[in-house]
Amino acid sequence: MHPTNPGDEPLLDDLGGLPAGSFGPPAAPEVRRAILDRTSAEIRWRARRRRFLTPLCALLAFGLGFSAAWAFRDAVVGPAVPPHRIGQAEGIDPGPPRLALDPAAILEKVPAVPLAERPGLLKQAGDSYLAMQGNMEKALDCYRQFLEIAPEDVAGRPAPGDPWLLEALKLARHTPRRR
């Protein structure tokens, strides 16, 4: 036995010490077998519960998701956005939708049209390359030619309908370079 300090409080009141044989095996083999059977059954039950509870919860969540989708299948989400208005701010009228032409076909027309109409075709080809094909190199080439031959009032400051790339090129032309 360990010596006790006089200031220590006992863990249980009115207990002078543990009864003799507290840490020894139970006296009767029937008691040992009853404890083992009960403990084994409890351990098996916990393992089964753990094994089946996770898939049951997943199945329940899956079923709730499908039932929620089925319950709200007729709910109105909101007004559909027409395809020509996607990505545009409200209150801005884009005008009549333009026919989408192949940018290569537009570029073929450039040498045959009068000089005053060429900037418009080059801008339209650049817009088509950028918006429809995502080809920034060809769009840059078209916009560069547009800025070279367009009058200064058109090629000057960015206009409200200009694509972001043309707007950046126009701003870069008027920004002083750092040296």
For residue 169, what pLDDT is reported?
85
CA distance 149 to 136: 20
For tokens 């390359």, the residue is 129
Single pTM value for the model:
0.44
Rounded to the nearest 10°, the torsion over CA 166, 170, 171, 176 is 140
145 CB-near residues (< 8 Å, 6+ apart) = 122
Per-residue pLDDT of the chain (179 residues; tens, 9 = 90+): 455 666 666 555 666 666 676 777 656 888 888 888 999 999 998 888 888 998 999 999 999 998 988 887 776 555 555 555 555 555 555 554 554 578 888 888 888 888 888 888 888 888 888 888 888 898 889 888 888 888 877 777 777 888 888 888 888 887 777 76
**What are the boundaries of each domain within the chain?**
27-71, 100-174
Token readout for 159 is 């206009």
Let me know: does 103 contact 129? Beta carbons within 8 Å: yes
For tokens 């083992």, the residue is 36
For residue 79, what pLDDT is reported?
55
Token readout for 151 is 């009058």
Q: What angle do CA 170, 175, 176 make, to 5 degrees?
A: 145
